[in-house]
A and B are shown apart, each in its own frame.
Chain A
Amino acid sequence: DTGVSQDPRHKITKRGQNVTFRCDPISEHNRLYWYRQTLGQGPEFLTYFQNEAQLEKSRLLSDRFSAERPKGSFSTLEIQRTEQGDSAMYLCASSDLGTIYNEQFFGPGTRLTVL
């Protein structure tokens, strides 16, 4: 068990470009979450999946954002037409619904900088 992994760790892009991030959860964790963290703030919830179903989306997730988890394993988060306000750390977490506490375990994050 290698923990939650995210790729890339850093992404620099120009305003208006599309970017895609990947998250690989802990093996056999059926829930996967995306959070966004801006500098000096705590993370804010974006969306979560149970297996391949996207069960909840935050109002922060504008139409330019889309997340998928096609086979109930890894997930991708795409941002279209990036804006400078999208610059943040994007964190992924996973949990096992079958455990008592359903504790969330976080990955190292993807740092996005939009120029």
Chain B
Amino acid sequence: KQEVTQIPAALSVPEGENLVLNCSFTDSAIYNLQWFRQDPGKGLTSLLLIQSSQREQTSGRLNASLDKSSGRSTLYIAASQPGDSATYLCAVRRENAGNMLTFGGGTRLMVKP
């Protein structure tokens, strides 16, 4: 059974800091990994998707890396802003296991002005 863990569970940083969110998964046989953002009481917004054959993806101030063999992914946020405050979720899709996503518990990020 695939298990996804995100560390830390919560993070508070001052505005302008660069930060790293961590995601680990137990089964390396994944098809892809997605990072999502969720604002309180809202749905999920996809930030980045990394295929298993890729090492990283970038979008603006966000950079996600994937080390499939070690079962790890990181989301790097550069020059954090108060508007980045949200919960960040990572999810993996396993190979040959249907199309379901398995999510981590999320990291709640607070960026203080």
A contact set with B: CB distance below 8 Å: 4, 6, 31, 33, 35, 40-45, 48, 55-56, 58, 89, 91, 93, 95, 101-109, 111
Contacts and interface: CB of A to CB of B under 8 A. Distances in A.
Interface of B: 4, 6, 32, 34, 36, 41-46, 49, 51, 89, 91, 98-106
* Chain B interface, DSSP helix/strand/loop, else mixed: strand
Contact of B103 (A43, A105, A107): A43
* Chain A interface, DSSP helix/strand/loop, else mixed: strand
Given A55-B98, A91-B43, A109-B43, 6 more contacts: A42-B4, A43-B103, A45-B102, A101-B51, A103-B49, A109-B42
B69 to A, nearest CB: 21
B100 A33 contact: yes
A33 B99 contact: yes
18 contacts: A33-B99, A33-B101, A41-B106, A42-B4, A42-B104, A42-B106, A43-B103, A44-B103, A45-B100, A48-B99, A48-B100, A91-B43, A91-B44, A95-B99, A103-B46, A104-B101, A106-B46, A109-B43
